[in-house]
């Protein structure tokens, strides 16, 4: 009977993990599903500093309004023609890092939570 319980528990863990991976990203209404090759003009954020992990893709690049990210990010690939500032806060206030257009960067020691275009 014990192997049956272990198999059942493993199945439940797998089902929960699959559900979490397929869940939509919260508060990223203009983010799309991750793509293998980000499109020109897009801005992609990554949870890991080596530009891996969970992605949030913004096809139009950064906008002039503050956008809260769906998770803490540690890197980006900016294929847009606009620079942007990424912030540690969720409301684009406080400490921020500014990056140019057509840039990729990682920030291992910073936990960034929002962004907006810089000009």
- List Cα–Cα distances, 19 to 3, 15, 16, 22, 94, in angstroms: 24, 6, 5, 5, 35
Provide the pLDDT for residue 119: 72
Do the beta carbons of residue 56 and residue 69 sit within 8 Å?
yes
Q: Which residues contact 79 (CB under 8 A, 6 or more apart)?
A: 38, 39, 40, 41, 42, 43, 44, 61, 102
Per residue in 10-68, pLDDT (tens digit) is 444 344 344 444 433 333 434 444 445 778 999 999 999 999 999 999 999 999 999 99
Provide the pLDDT for residue 76: 97
């Amino acid at each position: 009977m014990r192997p049956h319980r272990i198999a059942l528990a493993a199945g439940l863990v797998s089902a929960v993990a699959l559900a979490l991976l397929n869940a939509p990203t919260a508060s990223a209404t203009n983010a799309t599903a991750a793509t293998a090759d980000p499109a020109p003009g897009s801005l992609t954020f990554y949870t890991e500093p080596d530009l891996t992990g969970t992605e949030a893709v913004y096809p139009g690049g950064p906008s002039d309004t503050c956008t809260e990210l769906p998770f803490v990010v540690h890197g980006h690939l900016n294929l847009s023609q606009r620079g942007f500032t990424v912030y540690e806060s969720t409301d684009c206030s406080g400490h921020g890092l500014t990056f140019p257009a057509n840039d990729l960067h990682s920030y291992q020691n910073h936990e960034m939570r929002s962004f907006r275009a810089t000009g």
